[in-house]
Amino acid sequence: MASRTDLQTLLESILGSAFVYFQPPSSIIMKYPCILYERSKLDTEFANNNTYKIEKRYTITVIDKNPDSSLPDQIAMLPRCIFDRHFTVDNLNHDVFTIYF
């Protein structure tokens, strides 16, 4: 199973910068475009009444001023990644994904 830091590295390589934030505190001033991500759930599978497998699920949000950015398309191409929704706040486009990593 890959680690969270592996996901961080992967997202930084897609973005092409270090503006990838994991559960950022409100005091952080973000620069755009950026990617926010946070762990959202653990899925546990059982076999013989024991934990067999645990998968971490993350929520990834791509934030960009450009409504035609290619970043959401690149994130959508990741294995086990699902597009969830799009919304706009303060003229910033937010594309939200769920990924098992």
Instruction: Give per-residue pLDDT as tens, 68-92.
Output: 999 999 999 999 999 999 999 999 9
Q: What is the spatial distance between Cα 45 and Cα 65, in angstroms, rounded to a whole number?
A: 40
Number of separate domains in the chain: 1
Domain around 31: 4-100
Instruction: Give per-residue pLDDT as tens, 45-56.
Output: 999 999 999 999
Q: What is the spatial distance between Cα 15 and Cα 24, in angstroms, rounded to a whole number?
A: 17
Give pTM, 2 decimals.
0.90
CATH number, domain containing residue 43: 3.30.2000.30
Which one-letter amino acid corresponds to residue 64? D
